[in-house]
Chains A and B, each alone.
Chain A
Amino acid sequence: MTLSLTPKRKQKLYVLLGLVALAAIAVGLTLYALRANINLFFSPVQIAAGEAPFERQIRAGGMVREGTVVRNPDSLDVEFTVTDYVDDVRVHYSGILPDLFREGQGVVVVGQLHQGGHIMADQVLARHDENYMPPEVAQALEEAGYKPEDFQQKAADVAKRLEAEKAAGNRNGDGATSSSY
C-alpha cells in the first residue's frame, strides 16, 4: 500500500477514472430508478380518451362531483366521482380522506386505473385552489380543446354554491364540522 510513492499524476488519473466510473454507475442507477417510479398525471378527459395506462401507478385529478360521495356504513371504504365537468372517473378508496376533501373541490388521487374504468386510489390529496380547479386539470382540458369558460365557471359556481350552503348550515347548526355528505 505505498501508492503514495507512485507519481502524483498516476494517482490523479485513478481518482479521475474512479470518479467517472462512479458517476456513470450513479447516473445509470438513478435513471433506472426514476423510470420505474414516475407517476404521470391524467385528467378525466384524458382517461376517458384512453390515454392513461391500466394497472400502473398514475395520478389523476379533478373536482369531486357533488352528491357522488358514497361511504360504506361498516368500513372506511369510500367511492366518489372525479370530474372535470367534461368527463368523469369513479374512484375507490379505503381510508381517511384529507381535511380539505369536500364536494365541489379540487382533488388529486394517486392510484391505479382498472379495466372497468375506475381508479383504485392509494392516496387522496385535497387541493384548495383559488381557481377552484387543479392547474393540471385546467391545462389538460385546454389541450383537449375546451375553453376555460366551459369548465372554469362551472367549477367556480358549484364550489361557491356549496360553500354558501355550508356557511348557512354552520349558522343554523351548532356542530363545528357539519359534513355535507
Chain B
Amino acid sequence: MTLRAEDVIYPTEAGLYCAPGDFYVDPLRPVSRALITHGHSDHARPGHAAVMATRETLDIMAIRYGEEFASSRQIAEGPVRIGGVTVSFHPAGHVLGSSQILIAPDRGPRILISGDYCRTPNPVCQPWEPVACDIFITEATFGLPIFRHPNPMTEAGRVIASMEEFPGRPHLIGAYALGKAQRVIALARAAGHHGPIAIHGALKRLCDYHVERGIDLGSLVSASDPGEAQLMLAPPSAFASPWVQRFRDPVLAYASGWMTVRAQARRRGIELPLVISDHVDWPQLTATIRELAPQEVWITHGAEEGLMRWCELEGIPSRPLRLIGYEDEAE
C-alpha cells in the first residue's frame, strides 16, 4: 500500500511526528525517540529517551545539558532504517552539525525536513546540500521579499570601518552562542581583524568546541579581562543586563537577519546593525523551492503567509504546519 504524506508525518502537540517510524523530529516536549536537526535550544531540547543526530549536534547537546541528556544516543551516519521508513541526515549550512532530515517510506513520498538552513557559504559549518524530495517541509523565518541578506563580508567590513572611525570605543556585537558567535568571529578574521577578540562567558564552551572541531577562531580572551581587545561578543540578552555597564561608551552591534528592518534595530537600541543571518533569505528560500521542485511545500514556522502567497503565485501547493515553539534562537 502506498502511504500518503500526511500519514507519514504530521504535527502533534509534541511536535512533528513520523507515525511509521514512531519518532519525532525536533520535538517540543520530552518524547521516547527524537531526531534532532541541530543544536539550537528550541530544536534540541533536553529530556528525550533516545536521540539521533549528527555527532556535532549530540556533542553540543551534551555541552548544554550535561553528558546524561538522553539515555540512548545514536550518531546519524548514512541511511538508517527506523520502523517502516528510511531516514538520512544531510548538511543544512545553518550551524555546526546542522542537518536536513530525509524520511523515505518504502512506498510513498520522499519527505525532506529542512530544519533551519542557509545557503550562504559559512566557514563554521558544512554547506547545504540539495536533496531530491516530493514533500519539502521548510522553515520560513525570513519568508517575506524584504529580506535579502547582503554579503556577510560587507557587514564584517562595516564593523572594521566603525572600529577605525571610533578607535576609543569598545565594539560589542550581540550574537547567539551557537553558530552566530563563531561565524561573526570567523568573518571578522576574514575581514582582517587579527587582534584578540573578547567573548562573554556564555560563549566560551561553544567557541572551545568549534576550535576542537578544527575551526580556527584566532585569539579569544575573556570579556571580563579584555585587555586591548576592542571587539567583544556577547549573547544579545547581555545588552539588557548590568553586564554591559562595565564598558565605557560602547558601540552596540547586533548580528541578525532581523537587522534588515530599522525598527528592529531601534527597538533594541542598536547603533551598528549587522545583517548576518544563518537562515535562508527570500531569494534563497524561493530559489531552493524552485530547485527542489517538490510536489508540495509545508511550512514549519516563520513568515508562512508570505511564502504561501509566493507558492500560490507559482502554482505550488503549500500548507502551514503552524508549529509553535520554534523561536529564532539563531537570529
Binding partners A and B: no
